[in-house]
Chains A and B, each alone.
Chain A
């Protein structure tokens, strides 16, 4: 799996660089109105199963100005559901810590949902070759 390409499908990801075969470094900017978070962290490819078409990514990022941190895990599954049709199942578990977590729980959750929706749309576009 092309981790940088997948990572860049998440809106706000600004850079992804490889450290080793399973670890990448990345930067993500998230805006909620006047609040801007500059998250920097690691993306670790935990599982890449070419027979089951399954991949698991773990991410840990801290806001540079220490307003908080984000950690999360994403599991992606490709399943053939019919002639020429593949289903992509994305399961994400995200924890928001620190000031942004305590201040912005409902806001961040809404934002996270919107970002994931866009992420899935982008992946779909890439996979269907558009």
Chain B
């Protein structure tokens, strides 16, 4: 790769000052797993890399307003192994676990992944289905962007060149909500999905009507796709057997996949319908399972088992 300057600002103020200094020739780098590959192939040739790795305080995972706040510099590994995320939003922990290999997950950050905006990624559909928002910070302040309005095109977001994704907020989910993320991987386990579907389903008190639903798909367009038409045929409707298959068919209208080595456009479109249906079924099973667990009598207190879970390092 071409020679470049490597700057290590210690806080956001210095980050923005350095970005301003180098203008459009500068690129932010956090984990670097996506950027370094592109630089090795000379597809991206920044003259300055502004590293976020020395900026402290942006990698926490905590409860905020009943929901989850994930720092932009938290690694994928930190999210997947966080006991907080696994307890409150297991679907999100699973989603982050699906990404590439553990080596990538140890480096790749939540914010960096979103800013990279590859439509084949796993986190975006899940986060969109959970109603997540992103906080983007620049020298002139911060703004909050709904994730389903964040992606513009392949590798393009609505972020301005000097904005840093500092936080991802997942709102508190309504009662009787189940969530699922399914990744269709006909090739290797570390690959991007051929098609992926995330569904978050909220039932009403009777558990017989769909109060709300959010469906998002990955790998079927130049950005993650929110299947609003599919959601519309379900929202407010009673739960019935064919409803999910119908929603799956409706989702086909929202997708525009490319034919590539993971599948033809026609195949991916067909699979979009299948996986939307399966994700909805899994989300429904999740609601029911949660309801069952709540209703079940609490077991006698067992001594806490030592969990083989690595806690994210606080930097």
Contacts and interface: CB of A to CB of B under 8 A. Distances in A.
* A–B direct contact (CB < 8 Å): yes
Interface of A: 32-36, 65-67, 99-100, 103-107, 109-111
B14 interface: no
B44 interface: yes
**Looking at chain A's contact residues, is the secondary structure mostly helix, strand, loop, or mixed?**
helix
A67 B258 contact: no
B41 A65 contact: no
A100 B43 contact: yes
B155 A32 contact: yes
Contacts of B117: 33
A106 B38 CA distance: 16
Contact of A35 (B38, B258, B260): B38
Contact of A99 (B2, B41, B154, B258): B41
A104 B120 CA distance: 13
6 nearest A-B residue pairs (beta carbon): A33-B155, A106-B258, A106-B260, A35-B43, A34-B44, A33-B156
A109 B258 CA distance: 9
Contacts of B259: 106
B260 A99 contact: no
Nearest to B221: A110
B260 A33 contact: no
* Chain B interface size, under 10 / 10 to 19 / 20 to 34 / 35 or more: 10 to 19
Given A34-B38, A107-B155, A111-B154, 11 more contacts: A33-B153, A33-B154, A33-B155, A33-B156, A34-B27, A34-B155, A35-B43, A36-B45, A65-B2, A104-B43, A110-B258
Interface in B251-280: 258-260
Interface of B: 2, 27, 35, 38, 41-45, 117, 153-156, 222, 258-260
A67 B35 CA distance: 16
B43 A99 contact: yes
A26 B35 CA distance: 30
29 contacts: A32-B155, A32-B156, A33-B153, A33-B154, A33-B155, A33-B156, A34-B27, A34-B38, A35-B38, A35-B44, A35-B155, A36-B44, A36-B45, A65-B2, A65-B42, A65-B45, A66-B42, A67-B42, A67-B43, A99-B41, A99-B43, A103-B41, A106-B259, A106-B260, A107-B154, A107-B155, A107-B222, A109-B258, A110-B258
Contacts of A109: 258
B2 to A, nearest CB: 8
Contacts of A104: 43
A35 B155 CA distance: 9
